[in-house]
Amino acid sequence: MKSWKLSMLAAAAMTVASVTAAKADIVIAVVGPMTGQYAAFGEQMKRGAEMVVKDLNAKGGVAGQKVKLVVGDDACDPKQAVAVANKLVSQRVAFVAGHFCSGSSIPASAVYAENGVLQISPASTNPALTEAAAKKGWKNVHRVCGRDDAQGIVAGRYLAATFKGKKVAILHDKTAYGKGLADETRKNLRAAGGKEAMYEAYTAGEKDYSALVSKMKAAGIAAFYVGGYHTEAALMIRQAHEQGYKPQLVSGDALVTDEYWKITGNAGEGTLMTFQPDPRKKAMAMPIVARFRAQKYEPEGYTLYTYAAVQVWAEAAKRAKSLKMVAISKAIRGASYETVIGKLSFDAKGDVKNPEYVWYIWKGGKYSEQ
């Protein structure tokens, strides 16, 4: 009798445990530079992730479970990114929306691949992120943004056509993102019949680029392309204007933050950058954009891209009827998803098919599509 009672108690305990497990939250993460000089982008990612998780939970969550969001800070540092990735694995996260910097996403992806964690980056554009993963047979790596080899075509052709017969400089910050984008732009500049007069690396995080600016001024550089982030690009153009030198600054998607103008002031007027068409203008995004603005927050840059990354994961889990990485990855690749940034179709490597890049210009303290 005693044995029978113990068996019943054990069965009851197992039932309670299984019910509790069934109701447990699904833990997902958003990871980016929450601190440091690129924290403006981390804020964009965090805001986007918080909003989409709130919206998912309001509709019952994913697979009948509520979604819990944790935030990871890699400060765009590769070593810190790996440490954060390992911590998230120990927390049993099912999915990571991140990272922001390619130099963080690439090493972190190895940790996620080894532990079966799905990764969708809202912002990492270096082709190596998905190319290297594909060569190794990893199925966990995806992104909802375009790649540098698509962005570099637009920038390189523009520089070749607009500054034909004039001197162009290509600069990069030595990071996976910055150098990758600069090199793709350089390659396409040359393919279009142009050639850079200067190719220079600079150190990110410095406050004084006046020596580099003086070198460009002495060389008669009419336009310079920055493969890097908004903080350094902003200082360069501001310090150029302080020397009475006004070259055309051209750059990429890392300038899509109002913080750029806060650093440049009027020196930022006329700065050109490539980015994908503004998702805030899409009909499907407008209700969400309105909610952000009601919170006194402008969902610029990668805010909506992060929202979309989580959307894709949630819908793929629904289609796959599973929370396992392999099943969700299979549901993503070769399929299309309606998201807040538009319809996204994914290829076999986890990249978005046919990403479109357009020109933006800074005028009067705001950036807009040309």
Q: How many separate domains does the chain show?
A: 2
Q: Give the span between the Cα atoms of 256 and 259, in whole angstroms.
A: 9
Answer yes or no: is 5 within a domain.
Answer: no
Cα→Cα distances 250→168, 230, 274, Å: 10, 11, 8
Q: Are residues 90 and 159 in the same domain?
A: no
Q: Are residues 91 and 180 in the same domain?
A: no
Answer yes or no: is 74 within a domain.
Answer: yes
Q: What is the pLDDT of residue 213?
A: 98
Last residue of a domain, one of 275, 300, 327: 275
In eight-state DSSP terms, residue 207 is: S
Closest CA to 100 of 272, 303, 236, 271: 303
Q: Are residues 91 and 138 in the same domain?
A: yes
DSSP three-state, residue 123: coil
> Within a 10 A sphere around the Cβ of 222, how many other Cβ atoms?
18
Q: What is the pLDDT of residue 24?
A: 83
Q: Are residues 23 and 134 in the same domain?
A: yes
Answer yes or no: is 265 within a domain.
Answer: yes
Q: Give the span between the Cα atoms of 337 and 340, in whole angstroms.
A: 10
Place of tokens 């390189």: 156
Answer yes or no: is 354 within a domain.
Answer: no
Q: Can you give the residue range of the structural domain that contains 186?
A: 149-275
What confidence tens digit (pLDDT) does each residue in 95-142 have?
999 999 999 999 999 999 999 999 999 999 999 999 999 999 999 999
Cα→Cα distances 89→70, 78, 113, 116, Å: 12, 17, 11, 9
Residue 56: which CATH number? 3.40.50.2300
Q: Are residues 107 and 165 in the same domain?
A: no
pLDDT mean by block of 10 residues, the chain; 370 residues: 44 44 82 96 98 98 96 97 98 98 97 98 97 97 96 96 97 96 97 97 96 98 98 98 98 94 97 95 95 97 97 98 97 98 97 96 95
Q: Give the span between the Cα atoms of 127 and 130, in whole angstroms.
A: 6
Answer yes or no: is 305 within a domain.
Answer: yes
Q: Are residues 153 and 215 in the same domain?
A: yes
Q: Give the span between the Cα atoms of 108 and 140, in whole angstroms.
A: 11
Q: Give the span between the Cα atoms of 5 and 63, in whole angstroms.
A: 35
Answer yes or no: is 363 within a domain.
Answer: no
Q: Give the span between the Cα atoms of 153 and 187, in whole angstroms.
A: 8
Q: What is the pLDDT of residue 12?
A: 45
Last residue of a domain, one of 232, 255, 275: 275
Q: Are residues 106 and 17 in the same domain?
A: yes
Answer yes or no: is 358 within a domain.
Answer: no
Entry pTM: 0.89
Q: Are residues 76 and 88 in the same domain?
A: yes
Q: Output helix, strand, coil percentages for the chain, rounded to the nearest 5.
A: 50, 20, 30
Answer yes or no: is 65 within a domain.
Answer: yes
Q: What is the pLDDT of residue 23?
A: 64
Q: Are residues 30 and 139 in the same domain?
A: yes
Residue type at position 298: E
Q: Are residues 221 and 131 in the same domain?
A: no
Q: Are residues 114 and 204 in the same domain?
A: no
Q: Are residues 171 and 295 in the same domain?
A: no
Q: What is the CA radius of gyration of the chain?
A: 23
Burial group, residue 65, by CB count within 10 angstroms (0-12, 13-18, 19+): middle
